[in-house]
Structure 1
């Protein structure tokens, strides 16, 4: 009799343990699903934030070039960090690895790749200390604001563009502008980065370099 009751008691305990195990398993599975749902929710939010936080093209597509994976859609403007940038804007671009100062450039093209990356083709100005001299060393500058115009083109991500800047092209025979009245960079020479030589810019060439600038009358 005692043995029978003991057996029944053991069976009841086993049933209770099995019930607790099932309950624990259900709770664990529920918690795992909740954790996965929260993870997916935050991942989607993070992805939307990252996509929305990047540079975005503005306006209609101007033209389409190339085909297949090389296909590019070209635009007139883009927006990044609540700033609008357009073709022919003079801008600073985040410095390359190993460099301290940002690059000074003109935006010549804005395009989006087939993969969705927004890129900018820029025409670079050289700082005299960056411009190599064929005779050795680098070129000297008469003014800390001076830059050299060049035909050097670079392609950089649109989100590398920092902000707009002012550049004045002043022929060598004209006096330098007062920096208090005309802040910004000064361009007086062209740098041939292949031949590593410089030449003075004329009035006509300055109008080509920066066609929208209006220099003060002498």
Structure 2
């Protein structure tokens, strides 16, 4: 999942910056959208509950965390990287996406796009309260040799490039600069988009 930030497990067809916290405007994280609400607790008493039994237990800063495959909020189930602290707070780890109006190059300039739906993927991860989840959204990963599909035929956000927030650089989804694990991650996302589009085409 991933996060779309001013500064979304990527949003895979209906189906995760280190550093600075998200701004107080609505953000999307991978498959989900959330709002930054400093007054809301991290899932305690907010109708958020983990699904099933814990699959792993870890210790961060002397505090135990229980990892689950998913959680339920407002009657909707999400399968992401979920952890719960001993006092019941539930958090989600997300992959971060960047809006073009906030991602800048090394000279501080913004990139332009011919499509307002475009986002930049990144390998940055962030953690946020599960109680902030609003709903699922869709992100399509488009290979560099393909044209951007019309929103009418392929709704949702689109990703064509990867943003490096440290070096302020852009790379293609298929590039020689990635190590094997990162390229494998991108290949899976591309394959899922292709499979989803093919499945929808059969219904037409």
Where on the TM-score scale, by shorter chain, does this alignment land: which range?
0.5 to 0.7
Q: 1:73 to 1:196 in 2, by over 3 A?
A: same
1:53, distance to aligned residue in structure 2 (A): 3.8
3-state DSSP class of the match of 1:208? helix
Q: CA RMSD in A?
A: 2.3
Partners of 1:66 and 1:56 in 2: CA distance:
20
Larger radius of gyration: 1
Question: Residues 53 and 81 of structure 1 are in contact (CA less than 8 Å); yes or no, is this contact kept in structure 2?
Answer: no
CA displacement 1:108-154 (0-9 Å, x = unmatched): x1000122100001111111112121122222222101010101111
Q: 1:119 to 1:194 in 2, by over 3 A?
A: same
Partners of 2:129 and 2:168 in 1: CA distance:
27
Structure with the larger helix share: 1
Partners of 1:68 and 1:130 in 2: CA distance:
32
- Please state if 1:201 is matched with 2:163: no
Q: 1:51 to 1:66 in 2, by over 3 A?
A: closer
Partners of 1:211 and 1:125 in 2: CA distance:
19
Aligned residues: 147
Question: Residues 50 and 68 of structure 2 are in contact (CA less than 8 Å); yes or no, is this contact kept in structure 1?
Answer: yes
Structure 1 gap segments, 5+ residues each? 1-49, 88-108
Partners of 1:58 and 1:210 in 2: CA distance:
28
Partners of 2:150 and 2:76 in 1: CA distance:
28
Question: Residues 51 and 68 of structure 2 are in contact (CA less than 8 Å); yes or no, is this contact kept in structure 1?
Answer: yes
> What is aligned with 1:212?
192
Structure 2 gap segments, 5+ residues each? 1-42, 176-182, 199-204
Q: 1:172 to 1:66 in 2, by over 3 A?
A: same
TM-score, normalised to structure 1, is 0.61
3-state DSSP class of the match of 1:163? strand
- Please state if 1:178 is matched with 2:158: no
> What is aligned with 2:77?
84
Partners of 2:196 and 2:75 in 1: CA distance:
30
TM-score, normalised to structure 2, is 0.65
